[in-house]
Each structure stands twice: as structure tokens, then as C-alpha cells.
Structure 1
């Protein structure tokens, strides 16, 4: 683990990335800026680290104050892994690709009932429940490729013959509205226990639960398209903050920005739509400097704007982008998004996982290969006259 010395009042930074991992210089600069924010005590950076709007994505920050901008606009965004009770080999992917286009339409499953069952109050953004969103968000049907830790796989009930669904989505416009309201108050940080902090945390916690419900609804719609039942395996937010006491009894805020919680069971760590995804088990004796957090994916290597110059999206090229190296299907009717989210935009997921293993943070339980990745059935520009900016900042 690399540790930056405490310089000019900055908190220590623990970087869990080897010299073989590529970390953009701007991400390192942002790390140093975050380490100098009021009240920050420690920062943990993962190998998927890359620059973000308000700070680097792929890190956890422990602080005496709450910094809403470090959580970001997509509060509660995370990964949900679900098992379907249908063999992967029996899936008709071409038919499923057509049926899953319903994910681009308003959900007709009963928003009020779903909110009531989840004990969530109504908001102005509930019509977006059951929708994936743009940018790096996705819903992916997967097959279990290899089991590497049979004991952990057995405890999780994994079945190598069944199909799985991995959903990456968040709180949509709800989270953005919460951050916007917090920043309009003119305070860059909030004192823990203050009225402003308590109000933010109440809204934040609602959005985290809303986002989890959203992933569940997306998975259920996918299961219905496959005519299969659903069993949750893991669901973890990677944009969130929670308050906890340290050994001295002080209440501190642990922020995660593009970092998965490592104290709640197995963690899905996807790569790009053209690579395997990993399911890892956090190790009980993982280093304290990691702040009970892990990488949440491969992390971007190139920003979205530059991908338009790196990937051609002429009609003759689109067919190649709509298939993955495993023979699976990619559904994305927006050519611009297809380029922005191409596999080449992301870091090497094998290297990210190797770093987590070599630093003693995890062991790999299983790998999953992509069968069908759904992002969008049509261009948002064509549908609404403008590009979808619901992603704001994140990965994949």
C-alpha cells in the first residue's frame, strides 16, 4: 500500500494500486485536494480511480464533516446481482433483446404499491422507478463462467448452470435534486449532528433505498422478460455516506464515491461490456487503510468526449460494437453512447482485480461472462430532442 505523507495539513492517502495500474494524473491531484478538505482524516483510493466532477471516482473518505459533493449527484448508485431460476443455455438472447426494450419505457408495475412496500414516501421523481438511465448504467444478463472459491460460492447459493442479472443504476433525478439543494445552501460541508446535516442525511438515506428498489424493479422486469423467478445475491451502493463511531468514540462520516462497501458480504466488480465481471469476497483481515471499501468496477481510462475520436460509429461499425468477444449482444440504440461506453474506454479489469488480491483485500469467488448488455433501445436525442445527462458522473 502506498501512503502519501501528511503534507500541508492534508490527511494521509492510502493508494491500493500497483505500479502496473494506470492512474491518471488529474485523479491523483483530485485525491490530494480531497485530502485537504476540512475535517478529512483519511482517504483510500482503489485501482479503478479516475477523475470525477467534484472529486475522484473510486475512493473512500473518512471525515469529521459531511461533504455532499463527495457522494455526488447519483446518490445510492450501485450494483445489484440477481440469480434467475432458468438455465443460461436456455435463454433466447435475440428474443430477450426485443423484450428488454421495455426498460426504456415508463414502468407500469405500480409505483405507489412498490414505494409503500419499501416504506418509502413519494417524491417528484418516482415516475423514473424501473428505469436504468444513461451513461455507464446498464442491465446485463450473465452466465457463470468459473467458480474459484467453491466454499464461498456454496454459501451464496451460486449455481453454475443458471443465468444471472447484474444491474447498475441509481436514484436518477432524485439524487441530483438532493445534491443541488445541499449545494444551494452555500455550505461546502456540514457539521455532523447539525440540522442541515440531519436533513441531508434523511434525504440521502431515502435516495439510497430508492436506488436499491430501482435496481430490484429492473431485475424483476428482466426476469419477467426471461419468464424466470428472481433471487438476490448482492446489492451494494457505491455512492453514499454513513456516520459511524471510531475507536475513540468520535462520530465520523465515511463517504464512498465509486467505492463498494466491503463490510456487507460479496461484492460484484464488473469490467466493461466486453469483459468478464467478478464476484469477490472481502477478506476479514483486509487493511484498515482501505476504510472498509473496495473498487466498484474497472474505472474509466478515457473520458467520454475523447471516445468519439477513438471509436468510429458509422453504420458499418455499429454491428461490431453491438457484439461482445463472447458472442453476446449489446443493445444500445444511441450511437454516441455506444462509442462513449465502448470496452476500450475502461481500464483492464483483470489488473484491477489483481491489485485487490495482491493487497490482501479480497479473494475472487466467481467470474461471469456477458450474454446480453442492455443500455438503451433508442437514441435519447431522437426521442426527446436532447442527450440524456442523467449519468452526470460515474463509470461504465
Structure 2
């Protein structure tokens, strides 16, 4: 049985009923679990449609198969808005997204060296081995220009040497524009605590944010191409069976939290006097009525998105360094990088994606390397499960979007009350690299870490297979290849 406000209208589509005239389509096959609490959360947001001053309006809502409860707005929600921005629609992990690198290694090159690789990745990610020193000028440049700015900056030793080997043109061509946004600088009062992270212009320092995965479902994973599903697209993208790949899922960390707080505060302060406050508690910014607030919100969100993309770039370089130390020098071309928590301009309107990947088709990807395939869409499964690379089909009913993962079916608290025996068996069978060396730690410390990791246990997530099949059958994205993990790094 579905939520009383949800009605199935086809094998892959459901309609969410509510008082306003905004069309809401939820994409899910019958074998994809749906969460009533997520529907209730969405309905509270839709109730605020009546609070918008004319002519601003919400035009369409699309919900991807990984739809589940979030914080104020469900994960897997895509909103098309005319005349306003809704910064709360992307949460505080602004610019969170996915990156995928191909390598010149094959499974047989890596499999014999997994123990050494695990040790090196633990040192790089958690034991001070990443060595990414930057000046205040470099930090400001990456906030204002993202990946494009970073690639043009000279670095000093450490991982900068590996970054210099990346092809800058390929990096820029294969990043969504959210990774390289030209952004005006905010005023000092608006920057607040971010000034401490930037530091003095010429001081070369290390910090605890760049090169950090963050928590939750973020990861860096060494994978192998298990199966080619679309040979034509796979050939164009350089994907071959048995090839080793690196997938990164991470966001904007403390910078995103700063941006989310600044955007929410600015939106609240700019709300027109005399109008009822939005019932959802999520304040929009009116495009025409509050242009200064709109610019400040855009700048803050763009800085966080630039930071998130640069952070994924560094996380990729850290994984590359570990692989090369364990297995020898290799090629490391980028396939694609895109955010799934952001606000995109689209034909004079705004597309808000909260945990939903852009999945644009041939027409929208002209003048890019993906004009004949559609946009790459990266859909990871739960920890230890397969991930999929898909090609976007630019479905307008889905607002040119697709899932960003399998999606949770249990809240983190519920997952921690799951089967201890089942999760212990999983950890014994699968390599998860954490700050804790699993084989050497004391039993009580291992127990605490296992309890924490259970929040991301496989049984807490939907099966990725039905999610990917929904995307295919509904015409949102076409599967290209299946990837299976060799090793996962979790914060």
C-alpha cells in the first residue's frame, strides 16, 4: 500500500496529490520501496506554494527512485521554480556530487596488492599523508573559480605533483559547470568564519577540510568494470570490461555548512514584511524583489560548489597516489564530475536538485564530449554493492534528472539497530578502509567503529538494481556499465 496521497499511474510513475496545481511525478517501479515520511515531508513543502508572492511560482516537481526523507526537503527531489530561489532545497552539503576516473590498470594489476593499497590509502586519507598546502590566495581563487582556477595555480610538492599530470583541458571539459563557477567575492561581514579558513594571502598552510571525505554516505572507491551494458557509449567513453576505476562521492564540508547558513539567513532577512512566513520554514529569495539578497545567496552557494568540486579533485588525487604506490604509475583520465545538490539556471527558471543527478540528453550536451551519448550519470549502490554508469536521456518530465544513488530505506538510527551478525559478516568479507586499522585495533574500539559504520550498512539502502531499471524503463537514463568494488574508503 502506498501513502494515501500517492497514486500509481504507470509501471514506473506515481502521482502525488496535493491542493496546489503543481504537477508532481515520482519515478519508481513497484519493487522500489517508498517512504511515507518522505511523502509527508514533501507535502509540507508543497503547502508553502500558497505563501509565494505573485508572480513567483513552483512549476513542476520530479522525484527520483532514490527518494527518501531528508531534512526539510526529501532527498531525490527536483524543483522547477520561476521567479525565486529556494536555498533550503539543497541543504548544507552544497555542491555534493560524484566524480569518476578511469585508469590504465586492470583487475589483475590491483588484486595482488590490496593489503598494501589499504595501508597506503589509510595513511593518505586519515594519517596526515595527503600533504595539500595552499596559500590564502589559492584558497580564494578556488572558491571563486573552482576546478578551472585550481588547475592554473602553481603548487608546492606533495599531491600537487600528481595534479600537474592531469590534462587541464579534459578536466574542464568533463566537469559540469557547477565545478567551475565564476563567482563574485562577498563582503567581509558576509564571509564570517570562512575568512579563518582562507587565511593570510601569502601564508602556505595545511587545513583539515581539503582532502576530507566527510561522513555519512560519502566515500572513495576503487572499482572494476564488471559488465558492459551499452557497448557503443562504453567505447566512446573508454570503458572496457576489467578496467579499474575510481569513484568519489563527497561534498563541501564546513564550507557548505557556512554557505547553507548564510543563504538561509539571507533568505529569511529578505522575506517581504507583512507576508505570512512559509509554513515549511524554508524561505525563498524573490528574484525581482530582493536582487541584492539573490546575488549574495548565489555567491555563497557557488563558492561552496566550487569547493566541493575541488575537494573531489583532491580526493581523486589521493586515491591515485595510493594506487601508484601499490601498483605502479598509471593513466588517470577523468570521465565526469557533477554535483547533485545545487541550483541550476535553465531557460530563465531555476532547477533545484537535492540528491538528484543531472541527466541531460543529446541536445543539451552539444558542444561537450557527450553530444552523442548524453550526460554521464553515476549511480552508486550501497557499500559493497555494484555501482552503475548511465547516459542521461534529457527527460523533461523528470526535469532532466536521475537518481544520485540507491537511496536509503532505513533511517540511520534504525540501521544501527540492525543485525550485528549480518553486518559483522559483511565487514569480514569486504574491504572498508577507515581511520581504524580493523585487524590491529582493540575489540572495544572495533565495536564502537562497527556501530558507527552500521548507519551505512547495505541493508539500510534500497537495492540499486530496481532503481537503475526504473531509470531505464522511464527514459531518464540508459545504463552503460556496471562497476563492482574492490575497496572502499569511508570517513
- What TM-score does the superposition give when structure 1 sets the normalisation length? 0.86
Deviation at 1:35, TM superposition (A): 2.9
CA offsets per residue over residues 267-289 of structure 1, 9 Å max, x none?
A: 110001121100011125x3x11
CA offsets per residue over residues 93-142 of structure 1, 9 Å max, x none?
A: 11111111121255412334864474378854462011101111110000
Quote the residue 1:75 is aligned against: 94
Quote the residue 1:3 is aligned against: 15
CA distance in 1, matches of 2:483, 2:350: 34
Q: Which residue of the other structure, out of 331, 350, 364, is the alignment partner of 2:433?
A: 331
Deviation at 1:242, TM superposition (A): 1.7
Deviation at 1:87, TM superposition (A): 2.0
Quote the residue 2:78 is aligned against: 60
Q: Is the 8 A contact 2:423 2:457 kept in 1?
A: no
CA distance in 2, matches of 1:162, 1:239: 29
Quote the residue 1:310 is aligned against: 418
- Map residues 106-125 of structure 1 onto 2, 5 A cutoff: 107-112=130-135, 115=139, 116=141, 118=147, 119=149, 124-125=196-197
CA offsets per residue over residues 320-355 of structure 1, 9 Å max, x none?
A: 33245xxx4112333233111110010011010111
| Structure 1 position 163 matched with structure 2 position 181 | no
Unaligned runs of 5+ in 1: 246-250, 377-396
Q: Is the 8 A contact 1:242 1:255 kept in 2?
A: yes
CA distance in 2, matches of 1:56, 1:305: 17
Quote the residue 2:462 is aligned against: 347
Deviation at 1:318, TM superposition (A): 6.8
| Structure 1 position 144 matched with structure 2 position 225 | yes
Q: How many residues align?
A: 362
| Structure 1 position 226 matched with structure 2 position 247 | no
CA offsets per residue over residues 273-306 of structure 1, 9 Å max, x none?
A: 121100011125x3x1100110000000101111
Q: Is the 8 A contact 1:141 1:166 kept in 2?
A: yes
Q: Is the 8 A contact 2:228 2:240 kept in 1?
A: no
| Structure 1 position 364 matched with structure 2 position 479 | yes
Q: Which residue of the other structure, out of 197, 201, 208, is the alignment partner of 2:305?
A: 208
2:226 aligned counterpart, secondary structure: strand
| Structure 1 position 96 matched with structure 2 position 117 | yes
CA distance in 2, matches of 1:137, 1:59: 19
CA distance in 2, matches of 1:81, 1:123: 31
Check 1:323–1:142 CA distance in 2 against 1; reply closer, same or farther (3 A cut): farther
- What TM-score does the superposition give when structure 2 sets the normalisation length? 0.70
Q: Is the 8 A contact 1:223 1:229 kept in 2?
A: no
Unaligned runs of 5+ in 2: 1-12, 151-184, 186-193, 199-206, 272-282, 325-329, 366-374, 437-448
1:103 aligned counterpart, secondary structure: helix
Q: Which moved more, 1:185-194 or 1:139-148?
A: 185-194
Quote the residue 2:377 is aligned against: 267
2:333 aligned counterpart, secondary structure: strand
Quote the residue 2:69 is aligned against: 51
CA distance in 2, matches of 1:212, 1:125: 17
Check 1:149–1:9 CA distance in 2 against 1; reply closer, same or farther (3 A cut): same
Q: Which moved more, 1:232-241 or 1:335-344?
A: 335-344
Check 1:136–1:123 CA distance in 2 against 1; reply closer, same or farther (3 A cut): farther
2:346 aligned counterpart, secondary structure: strand
Quote the residue 2:445 is aligned against: none
1:299 aligned counterpart, secondary structure: coil
Q: Which residue of the other structure, out of 284, 288, 292, is the alignment partner of 1:189?
A: 284
Larger Rg: 2
CA offsets per residue over residues 181-230 of structure 1, 9 Å max, x none?
A: 22224251101251111111112112112111111111111111111342
CA distance in 2, matches of 1:318, 1:24: 23
CA distance in 1, matches of 2:85, 2:420: 43
The answer to which structure has the higher helix fraction is: 2
Q: Is the 8 A contact 2:38 2:67 kept in 1?
A: yes
| Structure 1 position 277 matched with structure 2 position 392 | no
Q: Is the 8 A contact 2:223 2:483 kept in 1?
A: yes
Check 1:241–1:105 CA distance in 2 against 1; reply closer, same or farther (3 A cut): farther
Q: Which moved more, 1:205-214 or 1:71-80?
A: 205-214
CA distance in 1, matches of 2:14, 2:411: 26
CA distance in 2, matches of 1:230, 1:202: 32
The answer to which structure has the higher strand fraction is: 1
Quote the residue 1:29 is aligned against: 40
